[in-house]
Amino acid sequence: MGSTADDKRVTELEHEVTELEHEIEESKVAHPIELFFDLVYVFAFTRVVGLIVHDHNLESTLKGALVLALLWWSWGVWTWAMNAVDLTSRTRRVAILAAMLGVFTMGFAVPTAFEGDGMWFAAGYVFTRLLAGIVAWFGTVDDPIEHASMKRFLPVSVPAPVLVIAGALIGGDALPWFWLAAAVLEILSALLSANSEWHIDAGHFAERHGLITIIALGEAIIAVGVAVTAAAGDELDVTAAVVWRLGIGLVGVCTMWWAYFDKMQVIWERALEEAGPMETGPIGRDAYTIAHYPMITGIVFFAVGLEEAFLHPLDPPTTFTRWMLALAVALYLLSQAAATYRCWKMVTYERIIGVPLVTVFVAVADFKAELVVLIVTLLMMATIAAEYWRFRDEVKANPHLRR
């Protein structure tokens, strides 16, 4: 009798283990090599901030946004590829590690990409894109549906890298226009190919975009530390004033983190999980690949605004600093509102209203830069708090929204 009971229990445990293994297989999580891959983008984002801060004018801002668009697309194609393929293959891991050199080269060339080093940036871009295409092509051969979708995407994605190389070869004033055209063509390639059946692991896809958002927020924290250190000059002692400024900057970055991770990440992920076979690709394209570019750009601009503000914390902010802060908040909150509407047709009025409030404030604020940053942060907090208050009953009733 005892033996029979033990055998039954062993059988039950075997079933439980099998079910758990299936759950693990079905729920893909970010592989350590993906996290390692993201590290080169820390450097690249830092270089973009440096490019914008160097001349702190409209031209440098637009150039920064342009190279960031190409950096973002290089990350995006790899994210789609790594979501689709098995990363236990050592050959694929080697390809990912090799692609890091391309991104590293792009990042290093950013400050002088428009002044003679455009070809290095272009070569890094093409190299990174080429490896992503190879991994996606050969890594999906065992999945006919995914492979068919890759067949639609890869051919239409070729013209953009060609334009990037052409712009670098021609150089001069024509280069930015070639790269802008390339960025537009990248978006068009996604529009042409996403309306097919894609096998997207929603949890992994959402996690990857959340992680790159954290990478960008990390750059904003670095910008605060660098600026506060530079403002201190030779007096590197920790003082109450230094801690105060570090605190203001950190709270600002934390508020941006909260705006993304409190419930938005889960809302977008749920939409991707519940989408039908033909809707998964379009949601992944619109709410993630496209909508996350202005989010990342907003964080980078916020880093620029913080750095400029804390370099001269006791002076009124310059016009450039004011508009970098306003533009950062606008890009970040409005793109989140757009992603939410795309997923659920839900209008997040608070985020939309918060943008003009911040814009008007920075336009008229004429006091210490550190206080301007603090009040911009408080306005963002009020926006998020008002939104939570409107949806509080729904959030409380759905535990997954409180993750």
> What is the pLDDT, as a whole number, of residue 70?
98
70, 183 in Cβ contact below 8 A?
A: yes
Residues 6 or more apart from 337 whose CB is under 8 A from it? 347, 348, 351, 352
pLDDT of residue 197 exceeding 70: yes
Q: Mean pLDDT, to the nearest integer, of 227-248?
A: 87
| Rama region for 275: left / alpha / beta (φ>0; ψ in -120 to 50; rest) | beta
CA distance 64 to 69: 9
pLDDT of residue 243 exceeding 70: yes
Give 133-169 pLDDT, tens digit per residue. 999 999 999 999 999 999 999 899 999 999 999 999 9
CA distance 80 to 84: 6
- Name the residue with higher pLDDT: 50 or 18: 50
383, 333 in Cβ contact below 8 A?
A: yes
The domains of the chain, with CATH numbers, are: 30-199 (no CATH), 201-403 (1.20.1410)
Give 249-275 pLDDT, tens digit per residue. 999 999 999 999 999 999 999 999 999
pLDDT of residue 24 exceeding 50: no
Give 347-397 pLDDT, tens digit per residue. 999 999 999 999 999 999 999 999 999 999 999 999 999 999 998 877 777
Of 4-8, 75-79, 199-203, 259-263, the one with minimum mean pLDDT is: 4-8
Write the single-letter amino acid at 368: K
107, 300 in Cβ contact below 8 A?
A: no
144, 155 in Cβ contact below 8 A?
A: no
- Furthest-apart CA atoms within the chain: distance in Å: 87
Question: Could you tell me the CA-to-CA distances from 236 to 228, 229, 241, 307, 314 in Å, in that order?
Answer: 10, 7, 12, 17, 17
When pLDDT is cut at 50, 70 and 90, the band that residue 94 belongs to is very high
Average predicted confidence (pLDDT) for the chain = 91
> CA 50, 53, 59, 64: dihedral to nearest 10 degrees?
30
Report if pTM > 0.85.
yes
Burial 48-79 (b: 16+ CB within 10 A, else e): bbbbbbeebeeebbebbbbbbbbbbbbbbbbb
pLDDT of residue 25 exceeding 60: no
